[in-house]
């Protein structure tokens, strides 16, 4: 417990005023700035295990995207390009001229949008995620995402009472699955951290409920291939692999290496949706290597990093 408190004490929480609204963030460490962009429907809590590993070398800033965590709501019809523009405003508010960027799942698309539209504000990029989040084809990615988030329903003030009740019931179903998440509750190796992780996911789901549908639609509408081709920054792709993902979608890394002009690939085996927490110790060294220059491809088997 004392170790956890020591780590938490080093993290600063704050808000940045932007034209799109207030953005909540957590930050810690010293060195070159590194933005950490979370997945949906999460927040900066995504990085509670990874951030302390990175702060020894970088000034880490993990914002809650518009509509997530403690940040203000996202605008109607939000696009990933809007998230990217908002991040530039966050950087301006924090006095950052340029930064490295790490993006997880939804965050890897927003990191791509940021690097494509604002190359002068981005140093090096790390795109991380399970194979389905790396599908470059817009049509194929849409099918994969829809199959995973089909339970998300639109929320807005114009819903009829019946539609609102349906959305409310759908949200409860998602929350109930998190509360009794067998994959995490049965992780005896995680100790009490498993309960803290579930609490984080519960809080994130409640806070993201009104924005998640619009973000999924933005994900499906996003032209990832076009923006990846425009990337000028050295870019590392960390593909989180698993037998289930291999069977459903196949590995995407080699295809992405044909698209990203200055790309490198690393693969992590036997990963899960929660790898950013439980495999943070395997992900951090890959980030260190890329931001400090390393070989063109790294394949890291489980338990070796």
The predicted pLDDT at position 131 comes to: 95
The predicted pLDDT at position 241 comes to: 97
For the chain, which residues make up each domain, given as ranges? Answer: 2-149+222-300
Q: Which fold has domain 2-149+222-300?
A: Rossmann fold (3.40.50)
Q: Write out the two tokens for 22.
A: 């207030």
Instruction: Work out the angle between the directed axes of helices 212-221 and 80-93 (0-180°, nearest 10).
Output: 110
- By C-alpha distance, which of 211, 217, 203, 216 is closest to 73? 211
On the question of pLDDT at 4 being above 90, the answer is no
Most confident of 2-16, 170-184, 213-227, 250-264: 250-264
Mean of per-residue pLDDT scores for the chain: 89
pLDDT grade for 152, boundaries at 50, 70 and 90: low
Give the mean model confidence (pLDDT) for residues 131-145.
Answer: 85
- By C-alpha distance, which of 64, 24, 67 is closest to 216? 67
The predicted pLDDT at position 304 comes to: 35
Bridge partners, 299 (sequence order)? 267
On the question of pLDDT at 253 being above 80, the answer is yes
The number of beta carbons lying within 10 Å of the beta carbon of residue 114 is 31
Q: Measuring CA to CA, how many Å separate 79 from each of 76, 206, 216, 292? A: 9, 22, 10, 32
Q: Write out the two tokens for 208.
A: 């993201």
Least confident of 19-33, 133-147, 177-191, 265-279: 133-147
Q: How far apart are CA 273 and CA 261, in angstroms?
A: 28
* Residue given tokens 């966050």 in the structure block: 90
- What does the angle CA 101 – CA 63 – CA 11 come to, to the nearest 5 degrees? 100
- By C-alpha distance, which of 251, 303, 244, 300 is closest to 278? 303
* DSSP assignment of 210-228: TTHHHHHHHHHH--HHHHH
pLDDT in tens, 63-105: 999 999 999 999 989 999 999 999 999 999 999 999 999 999 9
The predicted pLDDT at position 7 comes to: 42
Helix, strand or coil, per DSSP, at residue 56: coil
On the question of pLDDT at 141 being above 60, the answer is yes
pLDDT in tens, 212-226: 888 988 998 999 999
């Amino acid at each position: 417990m004392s170790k956890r408190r020591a780590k938490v004490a080093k993290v600063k929480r704050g808000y940045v005023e932007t034209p799109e609204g207030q953005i909540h963030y957590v930050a810690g460490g010293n060195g070159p700035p590194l933005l950490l962009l979370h997945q949906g429907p999460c927040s900066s809590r995504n990085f509670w295990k990874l951030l302390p590993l990175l702060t020894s070398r970088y000034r880490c800033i993990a914002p809650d995207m518009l509509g997530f965590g403690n940040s203000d709501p996202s605008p109607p019809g939000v696009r990933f390009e809007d998230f990217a523009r908002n991040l530039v405003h966050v950087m301006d508010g924090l006095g950052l001229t340029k930064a490295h960027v790490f993006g997880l799942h939804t965050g890897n698309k927003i990191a791509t949008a940021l690097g494509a539209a604002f190359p002068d504000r981005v140093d090096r990029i790390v795109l991380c995620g399970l194979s389905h989040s790396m599908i470059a084809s817009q049509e194929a990615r849409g099918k994969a995402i829809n199959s995973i988030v089909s339970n998300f329903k639109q929320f807005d003030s114009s819903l009829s009472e019946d539609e609102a009740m349906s959305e409310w019931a759908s949200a409860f179903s998602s929350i109930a699955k998190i509360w009794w998440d067998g994959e995490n509750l049965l992780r005896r190796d995680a100790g009490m951290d498993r309960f803290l992780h579930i609490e984080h996911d519960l809080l994130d789901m409640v806070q993201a409920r009104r924005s998640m549908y619009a973000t999924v639609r933005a994900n499906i509408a996003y032209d990832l291939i076009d923006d990846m081709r425009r990337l000028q920054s050295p870019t590392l792709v960390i593909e989180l692999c698993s037998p289930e993902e291999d069977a459903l979608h196949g590995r995407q890394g080699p295809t992405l290496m044909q698209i990203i002009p200055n790309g490198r690939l690393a693969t992590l085996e036997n990963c899960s949706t929660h790898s950013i927490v439980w495999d943070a110790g395997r992900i951090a060294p890959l980030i260190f290597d890329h931001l400090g220059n390393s070989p063109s491809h790294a394949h890291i088997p489980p338990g070796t990093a």
